[in-house]
Structure 1
């Protein structure tokens, strides 16, 4: 492979259609699309300071690299890319890509990042920004942290382990999502999802977990989670208290006790939901 070292590259498409390159400690600036339509590229310690650096590319490795704020929309329509030990300050990164592997990556401005991608693995990734990973599919996340609303809208086939999400409206319209050993905080969690499973999770959510088809929760805790499960079909096992439950569509709910149970007979059939409390403490019940 040809090597490029410590270059300062400017202008439009300086390495257009580049192939079989090892690029070290190089700065790409003041010019769009420097590596457009490239393939079999390895980047080490390099920096992207302008727009659209990797579009329509294939077989990319980037280690110890930096995307500055104006390196926005940096990786689109690119397949088989691995990014390790990176800061990606630019928003709107990774769009319609296949086989994306991110390890030890920080996204301080992750707005509209990882949209419509297929085949994503992430380890030790942190992100801040709204609409993260919308409509992507086949994701595996480990040791992930996110601060940003409307995350994972429309995702399909995702597994998350050891995450902390501060995210209003997370997992809306999602399908086949399983979350293990994680902390989730944000209003209206999971609305309109299908096959959402939460295992060993702690959740804080106003009016969360509603309008879900097949919600499964095992060994979870609900902190200040109120008006939960409205119109959801549920198989739920909660350690401790549930603040309030409203109009589940059917299934089973098990908890130590429920602060308030609202079952409106003109909206749901209460007989379709089996509720088991492990203590006699039930603060208020209402069925009308």
Structure 2
């Protein structure tokens, strides 16, 4: 296997089509697509300072490597890549790629990262940026700390564990999402999604959990969440806290410790199709 160590490259495509190579302590300066069309690459302790570093790459292992801010749109059309202990300052890092494993990585500006990708494994990752994970599928997440709105819009087959998501409009337009032991903070959670399951989660979401078909919640807390479940169907929810208000659920079962206000409009939904119970007295019932 070829080895590059303590090197500096500039110019367009300096290692285009490189195969079966180990690259250590190497900096790629100004110049697009330094490792485009590469195969079987191991990168360690290296730096990318310019655009499109790993396009059309197959079978790459990247460790303790930096993608600086200008190295945006860095990894597109790439398959079978593992990144560990990496620092990514660039936006739009993954697009139309598959079999991605991210471990102990930090994305300081993850805007529009992981779009239209599949078979993703995220393990102890920190990310900051809007539209993370859009239209991607087959995602397994353990310990993701994400700050950024509209995360996972249009995603499919997502499983999340032990994570914190500070995100408005999280999980919109999704199919088959299950979240365990996590915190989600941000208004309008989960709209227009089918098959959303939340287990042992703490949620704060103004007008959250609306327009969902098949919503399951087990041992969850809803902090300052109002107008919840509007136009949701096939609800099966056990909430261990007080819900500020519930509005016009279509069908199913809702049980909560307490509910401040229930708003039901018979002109819009059939109230008999949803069973609502509480451990304490409901503060107010209202027919809108």
Taking structure 1 as the reference length, the TM-score comes to 0.99
Please give the residue correspondences for 1:114-125 in structure 2 after superposition, counting only pairs within 5 Å: 114-125=114-125
Match in the other structure for 1:256: 257
- Unpaired runs of 5+ residues, structure 2, are none
Cα drift, residue 8 of structure 1: 0.5
Which residue of structure 1 aligns with residue 275 of structure 2?
274
8 Å CA contact 2:223–2:241 kept in 1: the answer is no
Q: Distance in 1 between matches of 2:52 and 2:258?
A: 54
Match of 1:93 in 2: 93
Q: CA RMSD in A?
A: 0.5
Gaps of 5+ in 1: none
1:18-47 per-residue CA deviation (whole Å, 9 max, x = no partner) reads 000000000001100000000000000000
| SS of the residue 1:109 aligns to | coil
1-structure distance, mates of 2:271, 2:263? 10
Q: Which runs of 4+ in 1 moved over 4 A?
A: none
Give the length in aligned residue pairs: 287
Structure 1 position 240, deviation (Å):
1.8
TM-score relative to the length of structure 2: 0.99
Q: Deviations over 1:210-268 (max 9, x none)?
A: 00000100000000000000000211000021110000010000011110000000000
Structure 2 distance, partners of 1:256, 1:111, is 38
What SS does the corresponding residue of 2:272 show, helix, strand or coil? helix
Q: CA–CA distance in 2 between the matches of 1:240 and 1:21?
A: 56
Residue correspondence of structure 1 range 15-54 to structure 2 within 5 A: 15-54=15-54
Pair 1:106 & 2:115 matched: no
Q: 2 CA distance for matches of 1:105 and 1:178?
A: 23
**Residue 283 of structure 1 pairs with residue 283 of structure 2:** yes
Give the corresponding residue for 1:127. Answer: 127
Distance in 1 separating the partners of 2:188 and 2:241? 21
Compute the displacement of 1:82 (Å). 0.2
Q: Distance in 2 between matches of 1:198 and 1:221?
A: 10
Instruction: Name the structure 2 match of 1:170.
Output: 170
